[in-house]
Structure 1
């Protein structure tokens, strides 16, 4: 049996936006990185090397990879392909981006889904905004969504209207201002479920009510230390229960994962992850998992 209602079951197929189709060239990076609020300009050749190593993890695990192609209407941020859509068992939900420079990404993804005959459940429309990095499946009947500068209450209302008639409970996490409107701060900046009862979290920025919801659902919480939050220690992609991918350079979080019985695969992400604020969950749009 296959499902889309999971962040942690065995990954069967995933969409990626290859770095060469998103970053395109040194010239495109030079023209876009500042306006999109990257920490620095990624090096194009180093980005290719990092991305090849990242993709090799999926190849070794025999996960089917699909690619979003080059599209001239989108910018370098399109490499973080989780954000433009949400996978559900009832069809894809097409998002509406809260970051202005990414406004064309959902339509570009929708075109690919239609071409591949994927079912579309619905779309988030203006004035609603919703980004995929702000949602995470906690279990097959529960989706968490962050109220952030990227995802507004109207977007959440539309999300609930699509999912609640199908028996899905939508839990809202009210996230803090933190660094403000221009920063990349999604729900999955502070939460990565990696098994039915295990999640990586950064509690200092987690709402008390939402954190208690996780504990009430039986989650054990792996607490990312302060020193590893900015280096994306909390952004962990599960490719199977307690089998996960993370950005290298977070040894304390890695040790905590291993102590909890997890297998950990690392990739160097200085160019493709840290500079743009997008770890392995952001770089992927998981489609099918094995229930």
Structure 2
């Protein structure tokens, strides 16, 4: 019989620099919050510690902002908006709740960014030249309204700006891209249910969107090997025995790593009742 191989547990010495930086940031954040709770709001020292917290957690904002790269908005603007959410989260965070700050802050940061896209970004992309002309049309409309005491005609605006009436109409149409029409308001006054009530359906999976986002954020904080084991177990549907054969470790070791991963995830996501 061949000698039995002895499985040894790998150490966490393979921790990546990025994960190390994340652990350092969490430790620094915990220390800073400990200092902040003992300082009087509005004092210079309170402001200094608060600014240090913001600076230390800016990578969290950049991580959240990266999800919105496809929105065709300057990433600097998205990060700036996300930073507002970070500041709000810092001001509301209570370390005594036992929740990790990134877990608490992420929904606030993402929510602030989503609000920005909902309220401030054009619903339809407008060519730059048409946008600039629209600003001129708006200004001319206000001036003529003041001068004549009534809304100006398209011809009057065109004459004032020395452009064609078609260009004026195109600008007016482009201006509507700044304001999305409410699906409910479109049906006001006709006695019928709002269009929003008559279209589509409520997706039951929506309630778990934010939770899944938090889970993804927590998973990337685990060691790489534990991430892989969770993927093999719950995404590839492999048994512990199959995982042990895949990784070349004992099934008991796989079971211990799974239990350790669950403990870390529960600890990071623990919420005060």
Scaled by the length of structure 1, the TM-score of the pair is: 0.26
The structure showing larger relative contact order (alpha-carbon pairs under 8 Å, at least 6 residues apart) is 1
Largest Rg, 1 or 2: 2
The structure carrying a bigger helix percent of its residues is 2
Scaled by the length of structure 2, the TM-score of the pair is: 0.27
The structure carrying a bigger strand percent of its residues is 1
